[in-house]
Structure 1
Amino acid sequence: MTARRRHIVKRSALLLLIAALPAALTTARRGPEDESVFVRGLRPDQREAVLYVWTSDADQKDPDFLTTIDVNPKSPSYGKIIATTPTSSPANEAHHFGYTVNADRIFAGGLFSNRLFIYDVASDPKHPKLLKTVPDLAASTGYSGPNTFYAVPGGVLIAMLGSKDGGAPGGLVQLDNDGNFVKAMPAPNYMYDVGIKPELNLIVTSSWAHPHAVKAGNTPMDQVGDEVVVWDYKTGKVLQEEHLDKAPLEVRWLHGAAARGGFINCAFGNSLWYWEVGKDGKLVFTRVVKLADGSIPADMRI
C-alpha cells in the first residue's frame, strides 16, 4: 500500500460516518438520527438496535462492505460485529452514506469509484442485503465524487464534488429510491455538504475540493473552496453565494421548525460560523469561533 493510500485509509477511519437503524418499528416516527430533516426516526423513548458502518477494506484488495454491529445492551452479542455485507468491488473509497426517507434503504457511495450501493436494511435489519449497484454515477448523472447523501421525499439528494471529468463544477444530483437519475443542479463551483430547511424553502451547500484534487492528495489551498451557496429548495435556483474561510464543510441547520439559523465549520480556516436569516431574507454569516492554527475542525453535530 502506498503512503498516500495509507493516509486516505487512516483518514477514512477517523471520518467514518455511522448511523443507526430505527429497526423493526411500525409507528409513525420522526427524529434527528439522520442529518436529513425528512428521515423518519425513533421516538424519544426508543433506542437503536443495530449500528451500520460503511467500511473500506484496509489494503484495498477485497470488496468494501457495510458492517452491522449489535448495540442492544440486552443482547448476548452486544458491541460485536454480527454481519458484513460486501459490495462486489474494492477501492471505492467508502466515505459517507444516508438513509431514504422511510429509513428502509441505505445509499452508500464510493467517493473515488463513483459507484452507488443501495442496501435493504428493513427486511432483516441485522443482515442487510445489497439490492443494487449503480456502476458509474458520473455517466448517469454528469457529476462525480458522491459525498453527502441527503434523503428527500421520493429519493435521495447527493452532493457531488465535481463534474463528470473530476473538475469544476460540482453539483446536487437527485435520484429516486431505486437509484435512477431524476435531475441535477449545477453549483457555481465547489460542493461538499447539503442541508435543507423546508420551512424556509432554503438549501445551504458547502465546499471542499474537486475530485481530481482530492485523489491527488495534499490538495493546495488554491484548489480548496471557501464558498457557501444558498438555494431555493423548490426551484433549485441559486439565491446567494458567500465566501467564508477555507473548506466550509458540515452544514448544520438548528433543529425545530421555528429555527432560522445554523452553523458551519471551516476546517482549513480553523473557525466556526453561524448564519441566520436577515431582515431582507438573505442569510447573514458571522464567524463566532476562531481556533488555533492547525485545529482543523473536520466535523460537527447539533
Structure 2
Amino acid sequence: MHTGPRNLITDVSGLKVGNAQDHSIKSGSTVLVADLPLTCGVSVMGGAPGTRETDLLAPDKTVQQVDALVLSGGSAFGLDAASGIADKLRSQGRGFVAGDQTIPIVPSAILFDMLNGGNKDWDVNPYRALGVAALEDASEEFDLGTFGAGAGATMASHKGGLGSASMTLPSGHTVGALVAVNAIGDVSPDGKHFWAAPWEIDGEFGGFGNIPHAVQDLPATKPRAHNTTIAIVATDAVLTQAQCTRIATAAHDGMARAIVPAHTPRDGDLVFAVSTDAKPLTDTVADTLWLGHAAATCLARAIARGAYHASPEPGDKLPCFAYKTS
C-alpha cells in the first residue's frame, strides 16, 4: 500500500476541504464537501463530545447521506460554523428535499480551544462566518498544521494541528483521513519520536523512526481537561451507512496508536466516516476488513502530520514540533 498523489483526504476523488481561521482568536473551522451527497457514519469514543446532527447518522435513521461535514474549534460556539455552511449550501440548492423545502445535512463536531491564549472576547459569535469562509475555500489542496480547526489546537506538551493522509489499497480503493488534533494526551513520549512512527510512509512526519526505548513513566497530559481530537475518514468504496459506521469505529484504533492516552473521559474523540460510492466492493468481507485497517493507519499518520506541521503564532502557550527544520 502507498499514499495517494497528495497524501491528503482529497486523494479520494470528488472530495474538497476548506479551511478558515482567525489567528487573533487562535481558532478556526474546517469543512469537507463533495459535489454529491456522501454516505456517512460516525463513532464517538471520547467522554466529552460536542456535536451537531450525529444522531441521524445511525444506520436505522431515515437520512443516510450528508451534504458536508464540519470540524471546528470554539467549543459549543464552534457548532455555529455548520449553520453558516448550511445556509450557503441551501442557497446553492443542496440538501435533503422535504416538500418544497431543501434542508442541507451538515453534521459537525467541535474541540475545546478556548484557553489557548487567543482573544475570545467577541461580541458576535465568529464561527458562522468562519464556516462560510471555509466552504468558499474548499479545494483539493489545503494546508496542514495551524489552519482551520487546527488553528488553536494543543496537546500536553506541544501545539496540535490539522492533519491529513491517504492510502491506496491493492483493491484499487482509496482511503483518506482528516483530523484536528487537540488531545489531552500527546503524540510523542520524548518530544521527538512519534507514537505513530511504525505506520509512517516516506518520512511524512520527519522520518525519526520508532521510539528507541521503553517508556516507563505515565504519559503526559494537559493540566486542564479541555481537549478533543475530531476526525473524518473517507473512501471511494461503495458502502452502506452501517459499513461506514464500522469503518469509523475501526479508525479509532489509529487514534489510540498515535495519541497516548486517547479516548479519555475528558476528550470528545470522534470519527466520521464517509463514502463517495464510486467503486464497488469486489469481496465484501475482505475489502471492508482492509478498508477499516487503512482508515486506522491513515488516521494515525494524519494525527502525527497535524502536529508535525504546526507553526508558531504570537501568544502561543506551547511550542511547536520543529522537525521540519531540524
TM-score when normalising by structure 1: 0.29
- Structure (1/2) with the larger strand percentage: 1
- Structure (1/2) with the larger helix percentage: 2
